[in-house]
Structure 1
Amino acid sequence: MSRKTAIAWGAAVIGVALLDIFAVLPSGSTQAAVLTLPALAVVSGNCLRRAAA
């Protein structure tokens, strides 16, 4: 993941957390946003390639 992508992902997770705090989004949306990054890493194979190297 490039630096720009990591910063954008972090900003999106913080944005979702703030919207969840202000009750704009349904309960549990912050946990879903945080858990999508590891899920995408597994699906894309990035974590498997890095572990094999």
Structure 2
Amino acid sequence: GDLIGFVGSTGRSEAPHLHYEVFKDGSRINPINFYYGNLSAEEFDKLLQRASLENQSLD
């Protein structure tokens, strides 16, 4: 029940979205590492490649 973020549309965004970070032991961890869903290994690898591109939306 803890509030972890707000959804909004600011700057040049075209739709509401959420930015968040994951920290473990004081270090940032890429949140994509916590995504499971129902992706195949190949689909997950493609998602990781797209996530590494700057200014890339994953929706």
| Between structures 1 and 2, the one with greater strand share | 2
TM over 0.5: same fold?
Answer: no
Q: TM-score if structure 1 supplies the norm length?
A: 0.31
Q: TM-score if structure 2 supplies the norm length?
A: 0.29
| Between structures 1 and 2, the one with greater helix share | 1
